Amino acid sequence: MIVGLGVVGIAAAGAALAAAWRSEIAPVPPPAPASFDPALVRRGADLALIGDCRTCHTAPNGAAFAGGLPLPTPFGTLYSTNITPDPETGIGRWSQAAFARALRDGVDREGRHLYPAFPYDHYSATTDDDVRALYAFFMSRPAVSAPPPPNELPFPLTIRLTLAGWKLLFLRPKNLAPDPAKDEVWHRGRYLVEGLGHCGACHSPRNLLGAEITSRAYQGGEAEGWRAYALGAASRSPVPWDEAALMQYLRDGFHPLHGVARGPMAPVVENLAEVPREEVAAMARYLASLGAGPRGEAAATPSLVPASAPGQAPQAAGAQAAIPAAGTDLYAAACTACHEGGRPPPFGGISLALSTAISDESPRNLVNLILEGLPVRGGTAQPIMPGFGAVLTDAQVASLAADLRRRFGGGLPWPDLDSAIREARAARRLAARPAAAMTR
Nearer to ligand HEC, 119 or 411 (CB): 119
Label residue 105 left, alpha or beta by phi (over 0 means left) and psi (-120 to 50 means alpha).
Answer: alpha
Distance (Å, rounded) from C-alpha 231 to C-alpha 249?
A: 13
Q: Which of 19, 338, 412, 431 binds ligand HEC (CB under 6 A)?
A: 338
Site for ligand HEC in 221-240 (CB under 6 A): 223, 226, 228-229, 231, 235, 237
Residue whose C-beta lies closest to ligand HEC: 259
Burial class (CB in 10 A: 0-12, 13-18, 19+), 205: middle
- Part of the chain binding ligand HEC (CB under 6 A), chosen from 3-11, 36-44, 107-115, 173-181: 107-115
**Which position among 122, 167, 203, 285 is part of the footprint of ligand HEC (CB under 6 A)?**
203
C-beta closer to ligand HEC: residue 25 or 357: 357
Q: Does residue 427 belong to the site contacting ligand HEC (CB under 6 A)? A: no
Distance from the Cα of residue 173 to its chain's centroid: 21
Contact 93, 27 (CB under 8 A): yes
Q: Does 108 bind ligand HEC (CB under 6 A)?
A: yes
Which amino acid does the sequence have at 118?
A: F
213 binds ligand HEC (CB under 6 A): no
Residues 254-313 that bind ligand HEC (CB under 6 A): 258-265, 268, 283, 287
**Distance (Å, rounded) from C-alpha 35 to C-alpha 320?**
70
**Residue 335, annotated as binding a ligand:** yes
249 binds ligand HEC (CB under 6 A): yes
Position 118 contacts ligand HEC (CB under 6 A):
yes
Considering only 25, 299, 352, 421, the residue that binds ligand HEC (CB under 6 A) is 352
According to the binding rule CB under 6 A, does residue 218 interact with ligand HEC?
Answer: no
- Residue 221, helix vs strand vs coil: strand
> Quick one: which segment of 32-40, 78-86, 165-173, 310-318 binds ligand HEC (CB under 6 A)?
78-86
List 223's β-bridge partners, or say none.
Answer: 226
**Is 97 exposed, middle or buried, given 0-12, 13-18 or 19+ CB atoms closer than 10 A?**
middle
Told to check if 369 binds ligand HEC by CB under 6 A, we report yes
* Cα 165 → chain centroid: 25
d(CA 322, CA 427): 28
- 54 CB-near residues (< 8 Å, 6+ apart): 48, 64, 65, 271
How many residues at the interface with ligand HEC, by CB under 6 A? 77
Residue 113 annotated as binding site: no
Instruction: Choose between 171 and 335: whose C-beta lies nearer to ligand HEC.
Output: 335
**Does 198 belong to an annotated binding site?**
no
213 DSSP 8-state letter: -
| Cα–Cα distance measured from residue 151 to residue 78, given in angstroms and rounded to the nearest whole number | 5
List the binding residues. Answer: 53, 56-57, 199, 202-203, 335, 338-339
List the binding residues for heme c. Answer: 53, 56-57, 199, 202-203, 335, 338-339
